[in-house]
Amino acid sequence: MNIPCILIPVLVGLICGILGYLLGKMNSKGDGSLAADLQADLDACKAHTKSLNTRISALEADLAVKLSTSQTTQSFAASTTPVFLFDQDLAASVCNKKIEENDLKIVEGIGPKIETLMNAAGISTWKELSEASTEKLQAILDAGGENYAIHNPSTWAKQALLAYEGKWQDLKDLQENLMGGKE
């Protein structure tokens, strides 16, 4: 066995160990400054977290005030919005079939399954459908799967508005010009 091959790595390891020990001793001041620095950082983080929580509480309070003001404004606006009464006999005479109030299937392109999708998404009245954007309606259809995503809801809001307003002849005329719910 060759002694220099064993001796050189042992000496290098011993020298590195001594140097590491000495450097560690020189860097540690022995007064616990590392612990004090870490404690100071922790205290600063706690103070920052407390200020952020205070700010979040203030923002939530502002939001609550804005929402209550908005709801008051909306309820006032809702009271000034005209309310249309559903006339089942008039609807039946124009459309030549019995029509139930807020039956979404009266809209060309909406069948029972799509009506179920719309109801699940929170759209259950003609008014709600008339206020929904085409993008929102398409997103609901897309979420339902590829069988529904192929439908085009671009005229649904207009049709629903005519039904909500009781403009049955206008709705019938519009639907006669539609093919599968689209112009």
In total, the chain counts a number of residues equal to 183
Residues β-bridged to residue 147: none
- Closest to 102 in 3D by CA, of 156, 163, 159: 163
- Joined together, the tokens standing for residue 64 give 């609550």
Contact predicate 63/70, CB 8 Å: no
Which DSSP letter does residue 85 get? Answer: P
- Closest to 163 in 3D by CA, of 113, 82, 95, 78: 95
d(Cα 144, Cα 113) in Å, to the nearest integer? Answer: 10
> What is the amino acid identity at position 31?
D
pLDDT of the residue at 107 = 92
- pLDDT tens, the chain, 183 aa long: 677 788 888 999 999 999 998 888 777 665 667 778 888 999 999 999 998 888 888 888 888 888 877 666 565 555 555 677 888 888 888 888 888 889 999 999 999 999 999 999 999 999 999 999 999 999 999 999 888 888 899 999 999 999 999 998 998 899 888 765 455
CA-to-CA dists, residue 163 to 23, 84, 91, 120, angstroms? 85, 10, 9, 21
Contact predicate 74/67, CB 8 Å: no
For tokens 């403009």, the residue is 167
- Joined together, the tokens standing for residue 91 give 């609807």
- Joined together, the tokens standing for residue 152 give 């085009």
pLDDT of the residue at 181 = 47
d(Cα 17, Cα 111) in Å, to the nearest integer? Answer: 81
Which DSSP letter does residue 107 get? Answer: S
Contact predicate 84/165, CB 8 Å: yes
Contact predicate 163/171, CB 8 Å: yes
